A and B are shown apart, each in its own frame.
Chain A
Amino acid sequence: MDTLYELTDLSKRYARGKETITIFEELTMTIPQGDFIAIMGPSGSGKTTLLNMLGGIDRPSSGSVVCEGVRVDRLSEGKLAQWRSQHVGFIFQFYNLMPTLTAAQNVELPLLLTKLSGKQRKERVATALDIVGLADRKGHRPRQLSGGQQQRVAIARAIVADPKVLLCDEPTGDLDRVSADEILETLQLLNKELGKTIVMVTHDPSAAKYAQRELHLDKGRFIEQVQESV
């Protein structure tokens, strides 16, 4: 498989008062295209920070983040925003949908950054909602949907611009088991059928089982466990 991400000697340190807190030091890893990784680890191990760096919403203290030959950590804020809109889809624990917009409008949001016509955007939105099985809920506002449905709208929003990578931060952390399994099955489908590279941060070992491989982040190092996916 071709390499999508190359992380080299990645370090992240925070200054808290006079104290410097090191999240991870000289972390090196590669993520091939089409991979589905579950990153696990104790609280404060830097899982979400790592995810943020992959998504270009946080910068490393040192080291490099390269995605398809682009030094993501060196892009200006403007270029980074443009890069995110074209390459990355985000899925959050608490869905983070716009409460004033309908499901379809929420999904359409990333497409406002493209040059697609209104008709083309509508078609893309319909397809994305169809993939997550919510075509009949397009006119509903987030508060009219269950947690699982809201997360499926969030997945549709993440895939509508057809990014190569999906970054999921505890995507099932706020859901019951049944809804969580549905979401994880959808992610697995996106990985297997559409070839999306997925990096998922989770605390839940049963959620991690849906990934192709499981990485444990502990004390700034990865301990990899290759597994049979569900």
Chain B
Amino acid sequence: MNDLTLIRKNLFRKKLRAILLTLSILIAFLIFGVLGSFNRVLNAGVELAAADRLITMNNTGFTQSLPYAYWGRVQGVEGVRNASHMSWFGGYYQEPTQVVQAFAVDPETFLAAYPEFLIPDDQRQAFIDQRNCLLIGETLARQYDWSVGDRVPLLSNIWQKTDGTSSWDFEVCAIYAPSMEEMSTAAAYMQYDYYNEALSFNQDRVGMIVLNTVDPAVNDRVANEIDAMFENSPAQTDTSTEAAFSQAFINQIGNIGLILIYVVGAAFGIILLIVGTSLILAISERTKEIAVMKTLGFPAPRIFRMVLIESVMLSLVGGLAGIGLAALLLKGLATALAGTLPGLAVTGGIFGIALAMMIGFGIITGIAPALNAHRVRIVEALGKQ
């Protein structure tokens, strides 16, 4: 027997209370684990954003396009190393429910702008050379069991061709892999020229311009210069860093970070009160036992430490169970949401934060009962019997 034996036996002396308290803490950390993972994945775009990458879009919103000619003018701005463009295709495969995130791009400049796409050299070249080539991500390839050489018709729910149809025929000629875990590989990319020449309307327009600067230090100047250049034109622009663009895009869904703080904060606040009060009561019930331990010679600081460890242990039991459950839940969801939210999991970072929170939670809820135990006066406590 040692101090831990005593702590463990005290922790589970009233099983129902211990189970209910553990469940309360479990729920708090389950919420934290799940929301924290969603928050991380949703913000992955911000974290993955390259420091030297800027996005120029129509200043009325990213659903409005820009004239194709802007691309050429942006390339000429001093400090721009590379400029490309992307247009939302609004694609689906066979059924409108089988959404394919597809973009029409200028292959060469696009691949230069996004070096994080890992593509075999021969496939990279095929994407640049072959007009009907479709570059797809590994997740998308797995989803529809596509491989290089497959002929794939993609339909658009926005655009129409001059022949009256909305279907473009492609051949999968390149598959890209992610260079980072959080990077999505659920999208498809096609040559802009192949897409544009068939359009019955909105021809020679692009969704947004993606550009790389020579140095992140010139980002502000370049952005201001581009926006000033188109200030008096029918399509005014708004140029921002890729990180700011991604953040603004996520904020359209909602401020997940703030939701996380509010929801987890509220859950923790309530559970803190419940657990804290219960522990104070539990220690109060053991006043006489604490007095006996002090009589036997257990010093007050040791009893303080034992009560605090008991509280931290309770928090760890509930917290680890909650995070474990969150990990299991996310494992199930990760497969279903691999396309839209890649890398959904309780990462080491989230686990680390959760572990620190468990210890902090245990200390906060345990400090008052530990102080009460520390202050127990033997004569008074034993005199109550």
Contacts and interface: CB of A to CB of B under 8 A. Distances in A.
B267 to A, nearest CB: 31
B2 interface: yes
B382 interface: yes
Interface stretch (B56-64, B126-134, B273-281, B286-294): B286-294
Interface stretch (A35-43, A90-98, A210-218, A220-228): A90-98
Interface residues of B, number: 24
A11 to B, nearest CB: 16
A113 B6 CA distance: 13
A55 B292 CA distance: 12
Given A52-B379, A94-B385, A100 B296 contact: no
Given A85-B297, A108-B1, A109-B296, A101 B9 contact: yes
A105 interface: yes
Contacts of B294: 57, 81
A99 B286 CA distance: 10
B298 A113 contact: yes
A109 B303 CA distance: 13
A81 B294 CA distance: 7
B299 interface: yes
Given A98-B289, A100-B13, A112-B3, A57 B298 contact: no
Interface in A91-150: 92-94, 96, 98-101, 105, 108-110, 112-113, 121
B372 interface: no
Interface size range on A against B: 20 to 34
Nearest to B9: A100
Contact of B299 (A81, A94, A157): A81
B382 A81 contact: no
A108 B5 CA distance: 12
A100 B385 contact: no
A81 B385 contact: no
14 contacts: A52-B379, A57-B378, A58-B379, A77-B299, A77-B300, A82-B297, A83-B297, A84-B295, A92-B292, A96-B292, A99-B13, A101-B9, A109-B296, A112-B1
